Amino acid sequence: MIDIKLLRTDLQRVAAELKRKNFNLDSALFLALDQQRKDRQILTELLQAQKNKYAKEIGKLIQTARAEGTNIEEHTAKGEVLKKKLTASENSMVQIQNEMQEMLEDIPNIPHQTVPVGSNEADNLEISRYGEIPKLSFDPADHSDLGVKLSGIDFERAAKITGARFTYLSGTIAKLHRALSNFMLDVHTSEHNYKEVYVPFIVNRESLFGTGQLPKFEEDLFKLEDSREFYLIPTAEVPVTNIFRGEIIQELPIKLVSHTPCFRSEAGSHGKDTKGMIRQHQFDKVELVQFVEPQHSWSALEELTHHARSILQRLELPHRCIALCGGDLGFASAKTYDLEVWIPSQSKYREISSCSNFTDFQARRMKTRYRNLRTGNLDLVHTVNGSGLAVGRTLVAILENYQSKDGSITIPEVLRPLMNGLEKIK
């Protein structure tokens, strides 16, 4: 949620900045609603003040009336009339406040000045590249063919067990998958100073509201058949960020890392990436989350992106970093870097991590604050997060980039200690 004060003081500027995100702010509607809100609030508070004053006065009158045994009805009757007027006024105020709240909840975060201008994916800006694209003497096989041949990936069985867009891994490939998440966790905890957390994979509505998935993006989520409105997490960002919902953090920064499965309905992506394990309903991800003071969130984004990249570097996977343009930016993000890894079978870079600064957008929805020692105020924290990395796609990248002509896979050096020294999967 953006700050409503910003809309009140600088409506035209905010509207212009949101345009860069392809969002049309209905300024006229906002002004009209806010004026109505103001009128109704002033009236309501006036009536409340009257009621409070009257209740105080009448208390004494009633007490003396009772002591003297006289009638108290003339006193209470006036209170009743006041109360009726007040209730009506309160209702109309609450109604308009709810309308404004709904409007506010649907407004995306304001993009940072450094976000490239553009309306879609094509306008994203490449920031840097790393690694040589491997020149193979043969046509690279795709990861699903490789995995199936090695008897380590079986999509048919996954489809039998559940359905499309699920994966069944076995043997060395399953172990490699586990080694990857362990490797990532180890690097981030022991070298980048993140604290490992294990969190629920089912969350409630409030948590999804806090990070911005709800109410706007319900169709992307798997919802449980349960009166408590539970959902499977689409990313660890949701449970991890919400650890501090409604809390006042004593000491910043806080850096957390968590390995979780992620569940996405992939509604609206029919026909996209139907082969292989690029786009699944369930995948593992190691997520980095930072809670920082506002003045540090931009450097935190650079740092966190660097932490995610270091995994790709250690695995020696060719990749690039791009800055998403305004039109491609997520709802809650003020700026996002995507890390894309080279996928030989597609001759393309594909997203493997997304690192964003949400500024105070999520913190405002979550009411996560800290004590600003300079001003003495309670201020909203900033949240920054990113994948470090998507485990399933990392497995894909390794299978494809480390393949040999005979279909065997060389295991990256850094993973061998986690694979009992194994060098090659045949």
Q: Which two three-digit tokens encode residue 194?
A: 């993140």
Q: Which of 415, 203, 388, 193 is nearest to 284 (CA)?
A: 388
245 binds RNA (CB under 7 A): no
Q: What are phi and psi of 284, to 5 degrees?
A: -90, 150
Residue 260: CB minimum distance to RNA, A: 17
Residue 97: CB minimum distance to RNA, A: 9
85 binds RNA (CB under 7 A): no
**Binding-residue pattern over the window 249 to 268 for RNA, x denoting contact by CB under 7 A:** -x------------------
As to burial, measured by CB atoms within 10 angstroms (0-12 exposed, 13-18 middle, 19+ buried), residue 203 is buried
Select the residue interacting with RNA from 6, 10, 26, 38 (CB under 7 A). 38
* Of 34-42, 159-167, 276-284, 418-426: span binding RNA (CB under 7 A): 34-42
Q: DSSP code of 403?
A: B
Select the residue interacting with RNA from 36, 41, 170, 282 (CB under 7 A). 41
Select the residue interacting with RNA from 36, 65, 79, 199 (CB under 7 A). 79
59 binds RNA (CB under 7 A): yes
Residue 41: CB minimum distance to RNA, A: 5
* Beta-sheet pairing, 248-249 with 369-371: parallel
Which residue, 61 or 117, is less far from RNA as judged by CB?
Answer: 61
Select the residue interacting with RNA from 15, 33, 62, 197 (CB under 7 A). 62
Full strand arrangement of the beta sheet holding 369-371: 248-249, 369-371, 378-380
> Which of positions 340-379 make contact with RNA (CB under 7 A)?
371, 377-378
Secondary structure (DSSP) of 248-309:
EESSS-EEEEEEEEEE---TT-TTSS-SSSSS-SEEEEEEEEEEE-GGGHHHHHHHHHHHHH
Residue 246: CB minimum distance to RNA, A: 9
Maximum C-alpha span of the chain:
107
48 binds RNA (CB under 7 A): yes
Which residue, 42 or 267, is less far from RNA as judged by CB?
Answer: 42
How distant, in Å, are the alpha carbons of 108, 179, 211, 365, 367 from that of 105?
8, 40, 12, 9, 14
**3 state DSSP class of 141:** coil
Q: DSSP code of 191?
A: T
* Of 52-60, 128-136, 146-154, 404-412: span binding RNA (CB under 7 A): 52-60
The site that binds RNA (CB under 7 A) totals a number of residues, namely: 32
Residues that bind RNA (CB under 7 A): 4-5, 8, 38, 41-42, 44-46, 48-49, 51-56, 58-59, 62-63, 75-76, 79-80, 83, 228, 248, 250, 371, 377-378
